[in-house]
Amino acid sequence: DIQMTQSPSTLSASVGDRVTITCRASQSISKWLAWYQQKPGKAPNLLIYKASNLESGVPSRFSGSGSGTEFTLTISSLQPDDFATYYCQQYSSYSRTFGQGTKVDIK
Amino acid sequence: EVQLVESGGGLVQSGGSLRLSCVASGFIFSSFEMNWVRQAPGKGLEWVSYISGPSRTTYYADSVKGRFTISRDNAKNSLYLQMNSLRAEDTAVYYCARDRPQVPFDFWGQGTLVTVSS
């Protein structure tokens, strides 16, 4: 299976900060990467697909980049609603795997 | 409006069985691939199983292969997960999630909790 490693595991930030989360794949996955946001007690919500495509309805402060084995999710100016846990996920192989998650909390 | 509603979760003893259901509405169910994803308490997300629109193709995570069976009834807009030989480590919230072409998990249900007691 392809392993996905996110960093950092926890990130403390303030409203207005630029935030970057990194996701590394154990082998090349081309651009077959998605990012999700999850709040406590809720289902995850798709933010980005195919590494850099913004899902409809997702604010433009979210962006994704990368290809191959290294990817980033950037929040350009953190808003109060963005404090949550973020997961990357590869869908290059039928056995889809998630990163372990990055919790963004209030500094 | 796309909706996915899971049901069938509950408390079951180790070694027991449970069948989860997910009823879809707001889209042409038979045209979309579907998945089950789970999340153990306080843990991350784990993909469990996939099924194609016409049910010709199914995939499973190694952790459930041989114990879980995914199926669907397109006439009833329903997705199922038959879970046998349940273990304590299967305790989780189980979500159904839709794929669209080249986009995974674009819609999710609210989840149903499965608790396996040892």
End-to-end C-alpha distance for chain B, whole angstroms: 40
At B108, list the tokens.
């999710």
A residues 35-74 near B, CB within 8 Å? 36, 38, 43-46, 49-50, 55
Torsion of CA A100, B59, B37, A62, to 10 degrees: 60
C-alpha angle with apex A42: A50 to B69, nearest 5 degrees?
A: 70
Residue B61 CA from chain centroid, whole number? 12
Of A43, A95, A99, which is closest to B95 when you measure between CB atoms?
A43
Please give, rounded to a whole number of angstroms, the shortest distance from the CA of A80 to a CA of chain B: 22
Query: What is the pLDDT confidence band of residue B94, given thresholds at 50, 70 and 90?
Result: very high
Q: What pairing do the DSSP bridges indicate for beta strands B10-13 and B112-117?
A: parallel
Helix (H) or strand (E) holding B27: none
Please give, rounded to a whole number of angstroms, the shortest distance from the CA of A44 to a CA of chain B: 7
Contact B17, B9 (CB under 8 A): no
Contact B79, B50 (CB under 8 A): no
Contacts of A24 (CB under 8 A, 6+ apart): A4, A5, A6, A7, A69, A70, A71
Helix (H) or strand (E) holding B64: none
Q: What pairing do the DSSP bridges indicate for beta strands B92-100 and B112-117?
A: antiparallel
- Looking at residues B59-69, what average pLDDT do you find? 97
| pLDDT tens digits, A8-49 | 999 999 999 999 999 999 999 999 999 999 999 999 999 999
Q: What pairing do the DSSP bridges indicate for beta strands A102-106 and A10-13?
A: parallel
Q: pLDDT value at position B118?
A: 87
Residues on chain B touching A50 (C-beta within 8 angstroms): 102-103
What distance in Å separates the CA atoms of residue B72 and residue B35, rounded to the nearest whole number? 11
Q: How many helices (H) and strands (E) does chain B have?
A: 0, 11
Of B61, B103, B104, which is closest to A95 when you measure between CB atoms?
B61
Helix (H) or strand (E) holding B37: strand B34-39
What distance in Å separates the CA atoms of residue A44 and residue B80, rounded to the nearest whole number? 20
Of A1, A96, A99, which is closest to B104 when you measure between CB atoms?
A96
Please give, rounded to a whole number of angstroms, the shortest distance from the CA of A9 to a CA of chain B: 11
| pLDDT tens digits, B26-60 | 999 999 999 999 999 999 999 999 999 887 899 99
| pLDDT tens digits, B77-86 | 999 999 999 9
Length of chain B: 118
